[in-house]
Amino acid sequence: MALPRPIPASFFGMVLGLVGLGANWRTASRLWGLPSAIGESIMAVAFVVCAVLTLAYAYKWLVHRAAAIEEARHPVQCCFIGLVPSSGALMGIVLAPHAHGLAVAALLTGGVGQVVFALWRFGAMLQGDRDISTTTPVIYLPSVAGNLIIAASAGILGFPSWGILFFGVGVFSWLALESVIVNRLLNAPPLPPPLRPTLGIQLAPPAVAAVAWLANTQGVPELMVQAAWGYGLVQLLLMIRLFPWIAKQPFASSYWAFSFGITALSGSALTMSLRGLTGAIAELAPVLFVFTNAVMLLLTVGTIVRLAQNKFLPPSVVAAPPATS
């Protein structure tokens, strides 16, 4: 029997947040001696969620092909498709301590998928004819988030030369797009309530860039990495300040957009502390670790409640100006 509604690609944002939280606990177990079983259990949950979503998304293309094509052509929702190969690459981090060969296979598969999708999606966007109202932080996903995730996974699995290449692509794409997105937020009409939670993606690039750099280097973190982390912290404070405006939208899967940036900010602070950094970041690391766990708990409970209410699946993709393809 066909599912009543197909899942959107944005659901893969849950995988990013869960892997980020699991990585936090892995580092915290080394830094503070916390139980390592907690981090591995979270990683196991992330693996299961990724597997279920991958099967459901493949089912969508097989059975609900019209909805899948509609999503791929949508100028906003299309970018979330980049989370699919990114989630696959993150399975390399999940599997790294347990099955190196499978971890490398996951990284390779996710990496190839990420490059293909980024070239297809961003190449279409560069052809123009886009409504400025469709420019949101979601456009970071094809060329920024995916490449930084590949960079971090490559470094952790022992391929730092490849990791640095993907790091460069992700960081320079972030710098190119940041002013475009901020200009739209400043000068175009306000984001509609259903899209406001996607602002959570805005805090991810500097934090994930710090994670990616740390994964490919050793020793005490450089000053520019600490500076990038500070910019990520300011983005988090901005999101907290904007949250009453963002929360006009009832809880939905879109709120998971905050999860990866928050876990990356906390995780990079823990890693820098583990590598000998002292001072402001090390002092903030425990506070952010507690805050991150609280946010993830709220997202998890909210998801379970909405699933129980049969209200977690969003409605069909809303019509919007077509993207050039």
Q: Read off the pLDDT of residues 15-65 as tens digits, 9 standing for 90 and up.
A: 999 999 999 999 999 999 999 999 999 999 999 999 999 999 999 999 999
Q: Which of the 8 DSSP states describes residue 144?
A: I
Reported as half-sphere exposure (CB side, CA atoms, 13 A), residue 289 has a value of 24
Rounded CA gap, 256 and 199, in Å?
A: 11
Backbone angles phi, psi at 203, to 5 degrees: -85, -5
Closest CA to 13 of 138, 153, 175: 138
Inter-helix orientation angle 13-32/280-308, to 10°: 140
Angle (nearest 5°) at CA 288 between 283 and 291: 145
Tens of pLDDT, residues 193-243: 989 999 999 999 999 999 999 999 999 999 999 999 999 999 999 999 999
Q: How far apart are CA 255 and CA 266, in angstroms?
A: 18
Of 3-7, 139-143, 275-279, 289-293, give the lowest mean pLDDT range. 3-7
As a whole number, mean pLDDT of residues 135-151 equals: 93
- Cα angle 112, 118, 122 (rounded to 5 degrees) comes to 165
Other beta carbons within 10 angstroms of residue 310's beta carbon come to 8
Q: Which CATH number fits domain 9-309: 2.40.50.140, 1.50.10.150, 1.10.3730.10, 3.40.50.12370?
A: 1.50.10.150
Annotated domain spans of the chain: 9-309
Q: What is the structure's pLDDT at 315?
A: 62
Q: What is the pLDDT of residues 229-244, one digit of tens each?
A: 999 999 999 999 999 9
User: Residues 150, 231, 298, 133: what is their CA dihedral angle, to the nearest 10 degrees?
Assistant: -80
**What pTM was estimated for this model as a whole?**
0.91
